[in-house]
Amino acid sequence: METTIKNTNFKSEEYFINMGPQHPATHGVLRLLLTIDGEIIKKVEPDLGYIHRSIEKMCERDSYQQIVHLTDRMDYLSSHINNEAVCLTVENALQLEIPDRVKVIRTIIGELTRIASHTLWWGVMGMDVGALTTYFYGFRDREMINDIFEETCGARLTMNYNIPGGLMFDIHPNFVKRTKEFIAHFKTKLPEYDTLLTGNVIFQKRMKGVGVLTKEDAISFGASGPVGRGSGYSCDVRKHHTYSAYDKVTFNEALKTDGDSFARYQVRIQEMWESMSIIEQLIDNIPEGDVQVATNAVIKLPKGEFYQKVETARGELGVYVNSTGTKNPYRLKFRSPGFSNLSLLNHIAVGGKIGDLVASMATLDLVIPDIDR
Amino acid sequence: MDLMKDYNKKVMTNEALQNLISTWIPELEFTEADSQFLNITVKPEHLHQLMSQLKSNEETSFDYLFCLTGIDYEKTLGIIYHLESTAHRHQLVVKVQTEDRENPTFDSVWDIWRTAEFHEREVFDFFGIKFNNHPNLKRLFLTDEWEGFPLRKDYVDEINMVIK
């Protein structure tokens, strides 16, 4: 008996559906307008602005010390690194000599932040593609880092530990010990991530060849961070425009050339190993010295334009300041990594299925407040 | 894989860049004052020609637009483009301005760098600057009914803005 219908009156028709703003896989209030034909994606159009706070406009009326505290509400998983970006801009503009102790502590906490962000990403990314256990593994390990932050900075997420001129206060006496404990712990746990998920055939089939981005497109779309490096594009700001103590340590830039979701996944796993290596090189050699240099109570930047880029867990964060010599910036722009990485979503998702879109989006590692600044 | 390669290489100095680019288009203004980059100010009518040449010329090869900023100078409105070459690792800033505050328009550069598509929409949303040949020029963050352009210096919103 014939089991397939050959001549039907069924028509292929395009229609559009909403994904979000309250969708678990968008990790925040991101709304995507999907034009689809059956399950094939024809177009993805993000609709943004649900949590836009106009941070750039607020910066124009705030002092530089206050601006630091706005930045960790952008990419809240890289809050320390965002704070550092503004502090470095101010310090470079004022030509302050920052003590080595500050640079090393900033670097260690920055790398702990990166590991915390990547473990959270790994947990929720696994959950997006149907592996529920990863969530608990990721959050278990991230909890240890949050405890270290809580002890030293007083907060677990939006740390506000940096100030222009140094750090708010010195590290907690337990900081070195607990960081070492975490590294020893995580060295035994990170291989478990690979055992649980990386080698899983079902997982690999959902990731390999999905959401392919070529190197040329990565550069043209302004991709950065693990998204760019998964396409073989060497874009690590820590290497190319080094800052803080990254010139004192040796580490490899994680690069993969496949450009698919699995390559971006592998880059982040490798980055966690590199971050641990950076912390190990510095943790026993934190120089003695002050943790602040004195600045005026009212910071006025000289007239001119200043640009600083740093590598957050998501890629290149740029801070552009146009100063007229007053206590507020005349114009301040944040070039956020998530905004550029989101702009290529349509490019890599068209032609795939809705499930592939979820996998691609999970490996772009979008944080919505970073896009809606 | 040798990953410690050429991380600090910089092929063309600012002087060499200036000498080369000044031969392409007349009336370019070059300055390095008050900035860490070489700044070029270009007239709006030459913007697209300059940008495509900066990208396609093999010596300059500025293939990475890492920041696109709209700015309100009160008398004029402008755009600031931060460019980098991933092959040569030199950087450059291009600026363009218009005195027309009612209907400011520049040529879009999205066909040169795809990242400009979203960045130009953001500038349109907050500054009201329009871009010729943009594929999808509409508000990105704000709703279509929103009146005014919030990042302009003369924008007033007595309810939502806290003024110090």
Whole-number Å distance between alpha carbons of A96 and A93: 8
Of A57, A253, A307, the CB nearest to B36: A307
Q: Which residue of A has its CA nearest to B136?
A: A45
Nearest 10 degrees: Cα torsion A238, A239, A244, A246: 100
Does B118 contact A340 at a Cβ distance shorter than 8 Å? yes
pLDDT at A7: 67
| Mean pLDDT score, B108-130 | 91
Q: What is the DSSP letter of B46?
A: G
Of B64, B117, B164, the CB nearest to A219: B64
Distances (CA, A) of A28 to A101, A224, B79: 37, 21, 31
A98 by Cβ neighbours in 10 Å (0-12 / 13-18 / 19+) ranks as buried
Q: Are A146 and A103 in contact (CB under 8 A)?
A: no
Give residue for tokens 């590598």. A311
Angle, CA B42 vertex, CA B102 and CA A86 arms, to 5°: 85
- Alpha-carbon distance A368 to nearest alpha carbon in chain B (angstroms): 12
pLDDT tens digits in sequence order for chain A, 373 residues long: 556 666 667 777 888 888 878 777 777 788 889 999 888 899 999 988 888 888 998 898 889 989 999 898 888 888 999 999 999 999 999 888 899 999 999 999 999 999 999 999 999 988 888 888 888 999 999 999 999 999 998 888 888 899 898 898 888 999 999 999 999 999 999 998 888 888 889 888 888 888 899 999 999 999 999 999 999 888 889 988 888 888 888 888 888 888 899 999 999 999 999 999 999 999 998 988 888 888 888 888 888 899 999 999 999 999 999 999 888 999 999 999 989 999 999 999 898 888 888 888 888 888 888 898 8
Backbone angles phi, psi at A216, to 5 degrees: -60, -45
Q: Which amino acid is at A133?
A: T
Nearest 10 degrees: Cα torsion A142, A371, A237, B127: -160
Does A222 contact B35 at a Cβ distance shorter than 8 Å? no
Q: Looking at per-residue confidence, does B25 or A179 come out higher? A: A179
Whole-number Å distance between alpha carbons of A86 and A83: 6
Helix/strand/coil for A165: coil
Of A49, A219, A233, the CB nearest to B141: A49
- Alpha-carbon distance A198 to nearest alpha carbon in chain B (angstroms): 23
Sign, Cα dihedral of A216, A217, A222, A223: negative
Q: Are A269 and A193 in contact (CB under 8 A)?
A: yes
Residues from chain A contacting residue B150 (CB–CB below 8 Å): 54, 57
Q: Which of residues 7-36 of B touch A (CB under 8 A)?
A: 7, 33-36
Concatenating the DSSP letter of every residue in A173-222 gives TTHHHHHHHHHHHHHHHHHHHIIIIIT-HHHHHHHTTSS---HHHHHHTT
Residues from chain B contacting residue A222 (CB–CB below 8 Å): 64-66, 113-115
Whole-number Å distance between alpha carbons of A225 and A313: 7
Q: Looking at per-residue confidence, does B164 or B103 come out higher? A: B103
pLDDT at A289: 86
Backbone angles phi, psi at B133, to 5 degrees: 65, 20
Distances (CA, A) of B89 to A197, A212, B14, B83: 37, 26, 12, 10
Whole-number Å distance between alpha carbons of A178 and A51: 36
The set of residues, in sequence order, having a beta carbon less than 8 Å from that of A207 and lying 6+ positions away, is A129, A260, A261, A262, A265, A359, A363
What confidence tens digit (pLDDT) does each residue in B28-71 have? 888 888 888 889 999 888 889 889 988 888 888 898 998 999 99
pLDDT at A311: 92
Average pLDDT, chain B: 85
Structure tokens at A115: 């590991």
Structure tokens at A14: 């395009």
Q: Are A331 and B69 in contact (CB under 8 A)?
A: yes
Whole-number Å distance between alpha carbons of A251 and A246: 9
Helices (H), A3-46: none
Does B67 contact A220 at a Cβ distance shorter than 8 Å? no
Residues from chain B contacting residue A255 (CB–CB below 8 Å): 1, 3
Whole-number Å distance between alpha carbons of A85 and A67: 11
Whole-number Å distance between alpha carbons of A12 and A7: 13
Backbone angles phi, psi at B86, to 5 degrees: -75, -20
Of B65, B69, B143, the CB nearest to A333: B69
- Alpha-carbon distance A234 to nearest alpha carbon in chain B (angstroms): 8
Q: Helices A64-71 and A79-94, interaxial angle, to 10°?
A: 160
Residues from chain A contacting residue B80 (CB–CB below 8 Å): 320
**End-to-end CA separation in angstroms for chain A:** 61
Whole-number Å distance between alpha carbons of A196 and A200: 7
Structure tokens at A155: 């907060």
The set of residues, in sequence order, having a beta carbon less than 8 Å from that of A13 and lying 6+ positions away, is A37
Structure tokens at A276: 């641990």
pLDDT at B163: 72
ipTM: 0.87
Q: In terms of pTM, does the model score above 0.90?
A: no
What confidence tens digit (pLDDT) does each residue in A112-170 have? 999 999 999 999 988 888 888 888 999 999 999 999 999 998 888 888 899 898 898 88
Q: Which residues of A touch B (CB under 8 A)?
A: 48-49, 52, 54, 56-57, 61, 217, 219-222, 233-235, 239-240, 242, 250, 252-253, 255, 302-307, 309, 316, 318, 320, 322, 331, 333, 335, 339-340, 342-344, 347, 372
Mutate to test the interface with A, among B31, B38, B54, B66 (most CBs of A within 10 A): B66
Sign, Cα dihedral of B38, B39, B45, B51: positive
Q: What is the DSSP letter of A257?
A: S
Q: Which amino acid is at A253?
A: E
What are the beta bridge partners of residue A37? A14, A40
Of A48, A217, A344, the CB nearest to B140: A48
Reply yes or no on whether the pLDDT at B141 is more than 60: yes
Q: What is the DSSP letter of B107?
A: E
Q: Which residue of B has its CA nearest to A238?
A: B7
Does A320 contact B35 at a Cβ distance shorter than 8 Å? no
Of B1, B114, B122, the CB nearest to A220: B114
Cβ count near B6 (within 10 Å): 13
Residue A367, CB-side half-sphere exposure with 13 Å CA sphere:
21
**Is B2 in CB contact (< 8 Å) with chain A?**
no
Q: Which residue of B has its CA nearest to A249?
A: B4
Please choose, from the candidates A115, A118, A113, A109, the residue with its C-alpha nearest in 3D space to the C-alpha of residue A175. Answer: A109
**Is B1 in CB contact (< 8 Å) with chain A?**
yes
Q: Are B67 and B110 in contact (CB under 8 A)?
A: no
